[in-house]
Chain A
Amino acid sequence: MQITSKFHSKRGSALLVTLVTAVVIGTTLASYLGMVKYQNQSNMRSLYWNTGLPVAEAGVEEALTHLAWADTNLAQYGWTLTNGSFYKERMIGTSKVQVRMSVTNPPTILAQAYILDPKNNAFIEPPRTVRVTTTNDALFAKGMVAKGVIDLNGNNIETDSFDSTDTNYSTNGKYVASKSKDNGDVATNSGLINSLNVGNANIKGKASTGPGGSVSVGSNGSVGSKAWVDGGHNGIQPGWTTDDMNVAFPDVKVPFTGGGFTPASGNVGGTNFQHILAGGNYQMSSLSMSGQQKMLVTGNSVLYITGNASMSGQSQIILAPGATLRMYVAGPTASLGGNGIINNGSALNFSYFGLPSNTSLSFAGNAAFTGTIYAPSAAFTLGGGGNNNYDFVGASVTSTVQMNGHFHFHYDEALGKIGPRRGYTVTSWNEI
């Protein structure tokens, strides 16, 4: 059978079909490419947006590092005083950060991050900008701080706080029980079980450990507010413990190089003194005081002991009114016994610094101690405690704490306000 086609071949029909097909495929391809481009742009926008933040924060870090190392002269190491603020610009990879620090103290830091757009080879505007305010953090922001275990092993141990610069919370700058506060915090970085053994002590303040750490309290121990402890409650008041303690303890540096004076002996007011420090830098290979030996400090003095320090018998270090002593000990052992440090001023007047090689510090005897201890590598042992409640006034930062006897530990909150600082930290962070 022969079928005759009704369709006559037409010239150009194949071309038309090809063209239509090409248009359909082309449109589809163009749409795909458009979507891919759109997605790519979206990804790139997000990438640039998120890249800007670490670049800006790198600028903030740069400023904080500069504050820590440049001391008082901030116009150095590439920083210039420009238009009333300290300014630095640097490249980080292909990105650029401009950092400005106000001349105020503590400074405000403004960091602007510019991200390079490879398509145009130009920085994207506007920059991502971060502004932070800072504070020069207190070295002694809490009463008793340690890297490791704190063991308050003894009877009638108590911590609380006062403020030697506020007459509402002190009398003539001295601790008075009736004006005490409840910021006698005890804190450890340790995350060990029972890393803070309160025993039967009364902690008028917060007890803090590192993550996973725990606070052990004896049957007569109490941790909490002044009202909680004075109210006769045992145990831990809800909300007065935390387990997120995480503080860096920078090492103590040698106070000076090039040597210092050797303290001379002498007679002052009819009393013989083994060592007299009249102000300035003093250096000794070791300190050993016993019997009735005395040291007198009459000016603002720094004493660098390259070896061990030992006080026993009835020896004592006497700070004249208005005098200050910063004692640095590099030897492995220091023992502040005898009659201790006679400091009728505030805790700011006497400071003990243990260098990294100072691994043991003991505080014995019945004399009161007014001052601060910063020895982050030293195991701190306290024994004795006298018969009154004026035992330890100030603050301590050590590696561990072992407290025996019946110490009363009074944290002076003035140390947090006007005491030594440990460096600038960020207090607020805003993106603008």
Chain B
Amino acid sequence: MTLVEFMISGSIAAILLSAVAMLTFYTGRSFASMANYIELDQHSRGTLDQMSQQIRQTTKLLSATSQKLVFLDHDGSNLTYVYNPTNRTLIRQKTGQPDKVLLTGCDNLEFNIFQRNPINGTYNQYPTANAATCKLVQLRWTCSRDNIYSRFNTESVQSARIVIRKQ
């Protein structure tokens, strides 16, 4: 093998190895992001399913802020959902039961409440600030998780409106 041949083959090998390294790098990042997203989405979806089931059968809403909801549950006890922006957690509190962290890595979360009356010509309801007239609760949150590369592409956004059936 001549020196020229060696240099050419070396260059080609370097290019190929670089390509393989890049492919490995991006594949790994994509893989990590996807795994992160799937886990995040599963947690968010599971939380939303649980909350919708529980809120739906509460008796009524007792108080509400954009980050905290207190319901009178169907068994007569209080059921509270509170968002802690410092810890980025959503916590469920129920009288007689230990607190349960429903969501972690919650970047923002907002509760909105609406009364029963639909706005004419739409499927929306009138918003209210009075918990006593609340019939619908809207939940909306965004969660994210760090991975070894970045926080991008690992967001999970969930939003739902839940009707309090007994109200």
Contact = CB atoms under 8 A, between A and B. Distances in A.
A168 interface: no
Given A5-B1, A32-B31, A244-B133, A430 B41 contact: no
B41 A39 contact: yes
Describe B's contact surface by its main secondary structure.
helix
Interface of B: 1-3, 6, 27, 31, 34-35, 38, 41-42, 45-46, 49, 52-53, 56-57, 74, 115-117, 119, 126, 128, 132-133, 135, 165-166
Contact of B56 (A39, A244, A431): A431
Given A49-B49, A244-B115, A429-B166, 14 more contacts: A2-B2, A28-B31, A39-B38, A42-B41, A42-B45, A46-B45, A50-B52, A191-B117, A211-B117, A242-B133, A244-B117, A246-B116, A246-B117, A429-B57
Nearest to B128: A244
Nearest to A50: B49
B57 A1 contact: no
A3 interface: yes
Describe A's contact surface by its main secondary structure.
mixed
Interface of A: 1-5, 28, 31-32, 35, 38-39, 42-43, 46, 49-50, 132, 191, 210-212, 242-244, 246, 426-431
B143 to A, nearest CB: 15
Contact of A429 (B42, B56, B116, B128): B56
Contact of B1 (A4, A49, A427): A4
Contact of A210 (B41, B117, B128, B165): B117
Contacts of B133: 242-244
Contact of A426 (B1, B31, B56, B165): B165
A431 B57 contact: yes
A54 B3 CA distance: 76
Contacts of B2: 1-3
A430 B59 CA distance: 10
B56 A35 contact: no
B131 to A, nearest CB: 12
